[in-house]
């Protein structure tokens, strides 16, 4: 491939990935975050280095050139820690309340796969209460976690993930990279849909095309979840998927996205019918569906995998967290999502219920626009990080249900840099850096959505008050309607973005690129930080190197 082609592909790919994570992140955070038991503590912060605005290149000691894809991503994370385009805040936890009679391990990707639930006592029926119901049952026509949780009970993907986020086989039993831009999946035999028809490789190809190609059925809002994938076809009994460029995370994408549907079943139905019934290959089949009220499933007898232990599964919704907790305590439901910190003691205080928490795939941060004063100064941005007592925010605002962060990538993700920790609070250094930046006495406003992420306003108020305590900066908070804030952030024009804003970002691909590219590179769809050639270069190179996934 010529350098020019490579660059074109990079740009195309970055654009795709930019969109992917944009929707992954923003849609994924719709369920207002989790929380949970204590998180591990972070290392001490690495110091932010200084440097003139706009310049790049390594400072201090010379680091060896990164070779592998992961090393590129780790280097990008180091660079982003040093240049501090965000005030790094916390990794959210997903916190669930669960009846003691159930045995279940929470997943990091916020999905609840009921097949993994065991009933140790009482009736083998389980009720799950989420914060909202689905926005329709079409597996390819939604973006949000509550709908995902309803769809995944009945639909399998080509690949899947275990509770730790590792990729596992699902409808594909083997997969390999054939060449740049082409991968192949071998399809499992003997799998049937709930209507009894056998799964064909063509169904998988159709499912992929239905997501990525608007001419196949619908304008899927998930098209950007399969970043860079251009299509799929059946070849010699397997399915070959083509991508624009290397697409190093293609298997990771298929492990998280693209549920498989039956082509004939879909094509024979109107949109409204597809949105009110499911015919998948998953462990549960739909028995009853009342839109906005509940969905009831029973195990699918001919499921290809291990049979579920549950004999009846019901999913309902209650938007108020206190209502969900009350339902759990009254024994009306068995598993609830998003238990807020203040309700944890109620759940733990009962013998019949308990709390289970897991670090989620969502990071919360304050983005600072690189192109406006005072945030155009790296020193000023670093100062904002030094001003924050992150541990105090996690302890007092989030009651321990979060982990501190110091880079955009979360621990456990491909590309996470273990050498980089959160910034420590150092008020003197922060004030000095503000002086050095030439923006002493700056007045800034932190814009935050209200109720979108767990304790978003309280976090923003704590951050603003700690910044305000610096002798040479004053900071206040402006509360915003999420839809209007998100509209500005996703408009594609940096001029429309707020200068300083709080956002949460979910990334269920477990890969650094899906956070850094959309949010922190020049081509990122939601990027507040551009023109850092080192980061752009590192990310570009990383996307042209084969990854493990």
Partner 1 sequence: MALGRFLLKRGIQGVLVVWGVVTAVFLLRFITPGDPVTFVAPLDAGAELRAQIAADLGLDQPLYVQYVDYIAGLLQGDMGYSYLRGTEASTIVFARVPATVELAVAATVVAIVIAIPLGVISATRRREPADYGATLFSLVGISTPNFWLGIMLILVLSVQFDLFPTSRRPIGLFETLAFLVTVENGIAAPMNVDAFLDGLWTWLWHIALPAVTLGTYFTALVTRLTRSGMIEELGQPYVRAARAKGLPESLIQYKHALQNTLIPIVTVLGLQLGTLIGGAVITEAVFAWPGLGTLVINAINVRDWPLIQGSLIVIGTGFVLINIFVDALYAYLNPRVVH
- Locate all alpha helices (DSSP H) within 450-497, ordered by sequence: 456-468, 482-489
- In the complex, what is the shortest distance from the CB of residue 325 to partner 1, in angstroms, rounded to a whole number? 9
The yes or no reply on residue 352 touching partner 1 (CB under 8 A) is no
Choose among 13, 20, 466: nearest CA to 243.
13
Q: Is 96 in the site for partner 1 (CB under 8 A)?
A: no
Q: How many CB atoms lie within 10 A of CB 317?
A: 20
Taking residues 185 to 214 in sequence order and writing x for each that binds partner 1 by CB under 8 A, - otherwise, the string is -----------------------------x
State the minimum distance, in angstroms, from the CB of residue 119 to partner 1. Answer: 22
**What are the CB-based long-range contacts (under 8 Å, 24+) for 117-123?**
117/308, 117/309, 117/310, 117/335, 118/309, 119/309, 119/310
Among 176, 332, 441, 533, binds partner 1 (CB under 8 A): 332
Alpha carbons 464 and 450: distance in angstroms, whole number? 15
H helices of 307-376, where?
Answer: 321-329, 341-348
Please state, in angstroms and rounded to a whole number, the distance separating the CA atoms of residues 141 and 133: 14
Angle of helix 3-28 versus helix 513-520 axis, rounded to 10:
100
Please tell me the distance from the alpha carbon of residue 494 to that of residue 490, in angstroms, as a whole number: 9
Give me the helices (H) in 285-336, please.
321-329
Draw the binding track, 210-249, toward partner 1 (x: CB under 8 A; -: no contact).
Answer: ----x----xxxxxx-------------------------
Query: To the nearest whole angstrom, how small is the minimum distance from the Cβ of residue 525 to partner 1?
Result: 5
Please tell me the distance from the alpha carbon of residue 509 to that of residue 434, in angstroms, as a whole number: 37
Binding mask 127-166 for partner 1 (x = CB under 8 A): -----x--xx-x--x-------------------------
Report in angstroms how near the CB of residue 526 gets to partner 1 at its nearest: 8
Residue with Cβ nearer partner 1 (267 or 332): 332
**In 3D, which of 515, 525, 506 has the Cα closest to residue 31?**
506
Residue 417 CB, shortest distance to partner 1, in Å, is 27
Binding mask 278-307 for partner 1 (x = CB under 8 A): -------------xxx--------------
Pick one of 272, 352, 392, 471: the residue that binds partner 1 (CB under 8 A). Answer: 272
Query: Which residues, 6+ apart, have CB-to-CB distance to 248 below 8 Å?
Result: 69, 513, 542, 543, 544, 545, 546, 547, 549
Shortest separation between residue 433's beta carbon and partner 1, angstroms: 34
Binding site for partner 1 (CB under 8 A): 15-16, 18-20, 22-23, 26, 132, 135-136, 138, 141, 214, 219-224, 271-272, 274-275, 291-293, 316-320, 322-323, 326-327, 329-330, 332, 481-484, 486-487, 490-491, 525-526
């Amino acid at each position: 491939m010529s350098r020019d082609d490579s660059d074109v592909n990079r740009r195309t790919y970055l654009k795709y990935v930019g969109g992917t994570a944009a929707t992954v992140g923003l849609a994924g955070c719709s369920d207002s975050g989790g929380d949970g038991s204590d998180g591990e503590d972070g290392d001490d912060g690495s110091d932010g280095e200084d440097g003139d605005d706009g310049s790049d290149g390594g400072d201090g000691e010379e680091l060896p050139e990164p070779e592998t894809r992961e090393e590129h991503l780790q280097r990008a994370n180091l660079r982003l820690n040093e240049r501090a385009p965000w005030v790094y805040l916390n990794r959210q936890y997903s916190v669930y309340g669960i009846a003691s009679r159930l045995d279940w391990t929470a997943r990091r990707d916020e999905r609840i796969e009921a097949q993994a639930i065991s009933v140790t006592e009482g009736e083998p029926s389980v009720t799950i209460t989420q914060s909202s119901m689905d926005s329709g049952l079409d597996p390819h026509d939604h973006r949000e976690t509550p709908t995902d949780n309803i769809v995944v009970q009945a639909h399998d993907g080509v690949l899947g993930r275990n509770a730790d986020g590792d990729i596992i086989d699902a409808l594909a039993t083997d997969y390999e990279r054939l060449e740049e831009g082409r991968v192949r999946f071998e399809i499992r035999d003997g799998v049937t849909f709930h209507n009894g028809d056998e799964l064909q490789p063509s169904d998988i190809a159709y499912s992929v095309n239905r997501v990525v190609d608007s001419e196949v059925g619908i304008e899927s809002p998930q098209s950007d979840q399969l970043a860079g994938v251009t299509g799929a076809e059946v070849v010699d009994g397997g399915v070959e998927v083509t991508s624009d460029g290397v697409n190093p995370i293609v298997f990771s994408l298929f492990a998280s996205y693209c549920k498989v549907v039956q082509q004939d079943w879909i094509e024979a139905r109107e949109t409204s019918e597809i949105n009110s019934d499911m015919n998948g290959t998953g462990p549960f089949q739909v028995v009853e569906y009342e839109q906005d009220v509940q969905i009831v499933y029973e195990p699918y007898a001919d499921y290809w995998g291990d049979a579920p232990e549950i004999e009846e599964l019901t999913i309902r919704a209650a938007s108020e967290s206190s209502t969900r907790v009350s339902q759990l305590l009254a024994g009306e439901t068995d598993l609830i999502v998003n238990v807020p910190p203040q309700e944890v003691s109620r759940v733990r205080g009962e013998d019949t219920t308990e709390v289970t928490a897991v670090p989620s795939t969502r990071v919360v941060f304050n983005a600072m626009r690189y192109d406006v004063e005072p945030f155009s100064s790296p020193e000023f941005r670093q100062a904002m990080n030094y001003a924050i007592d992150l541990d105090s925010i996690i302890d007092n605002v989030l009651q321990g249900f979060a982990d501190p962060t110091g880079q955009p990538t979360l621990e456990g993700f491909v590309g996470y840099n273990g050498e980089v920790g959160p910034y420590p609070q150092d008020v003197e250094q922060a004030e000095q850096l503000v002086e050095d930046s030439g923006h002493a006495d700056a007045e800034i406003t932190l814009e935050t959505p209200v109720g979108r992420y767990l304790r978003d306003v309280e976090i923003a108020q704590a951050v603003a008050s700690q910044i305000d305590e610096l002798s040479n900066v004053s900071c206040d908070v402006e509360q915003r309607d999420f839809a209007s804030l998100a509209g500005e952030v996703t408009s594609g024009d940096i001029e429309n973005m707020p200068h300083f804003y709080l956002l949460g970002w979910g990334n269920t691909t477990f890969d650094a690129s899906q956070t850094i590219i959309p949010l922190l590179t020049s081509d990122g769809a939601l990027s507040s930080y551009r023109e850092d050639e080192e980061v752009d270069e590192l990310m570009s190179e990383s996307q042209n190197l084969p990854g493990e996934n």
